[in-house]
Every structure is written in structure tokens, then in C-alpha cells.
Amino acid sequence: MKTLSARYRQAHKEAKWAVGLALAYFAWWYFSAYAFAPAGIDEALPTLYWGFPLWFLLACIIGPILFTVLCGLMVKYIYRDMSLEIEPEASDE
């Protein structure tokens, strides 16, 4: 990336993806934790999957694994390695 504006565009793109993934993770956690939680105390015990209630399995086990993989894919395919040094302008000598 030669120009400063190209580096800024790439940095903004990376920041938007990072914020978007963080918001998606929050939405995943919130939905799975509250949508699948039992409605009240007086209900019977929830069905267990591998010893965990479904809301816990989705929010605290599957979600972090899924979003860690997504984060790795984002770093591999979206992020670019670029120098932070300011390169001098090329002269016409």
C-alpha cells in the first residue's frame, strides 16, 4: 500500500469488520442466552445436551468457538499486512 489514503481505507475496512463481528457475537450471545432460557422458575428442568441446557451450550460453548473461527477467517482474508512507516514521495530525478 503505497499511499496514505489507501492505508486509511484498508484500516477503516478492517475496523468495520471487527466492530461488525463483535456486534454479531453480542447478538448471537444475547439471542441464544435469552431466547432458549427457561421462562420461569416453576418450570421443569430444561432438557440437557451433553450435560448443559441448550441456552448455555449455544451462548457459552458453541458461540465462542464459532466466533473464534470467524475471527481467524477474517484475519486471514480481510486483513492485510502493511507497513506503518511513511514512505517518501518518489522523485522524478
**Could you read off the pLDDT of 35-85 as tens digits, one per residue?**
877 766 656 666 777 788 888 888 889 999 999 999 999 999 999 888 777
Q: Do the domain assignments include residue 89?
A: no
Q: What is the pLDDT of residue 65?
A: 96
Q: Is the pTM of this model over 0.85?
A: no
Per-residue pLDDT, 35: 80
Q: How high is the pLDDT of residue 49?
A: 75
Look-up: residue for cell 471487527?
A: 18
Supply the range of the domain harboring residue 72.
Answer: 23-38+46-80
Tally of residues, the chain: 93
In a domain, 85, yes or no: no
Closest CA to 21 of 76, 81, 62, 72: 72
- The number of domains in the chain is 1
18: in domain: no
Which residues have C-beta within 8 Å of that of residue 13, sequence separation ≥ 6?
78
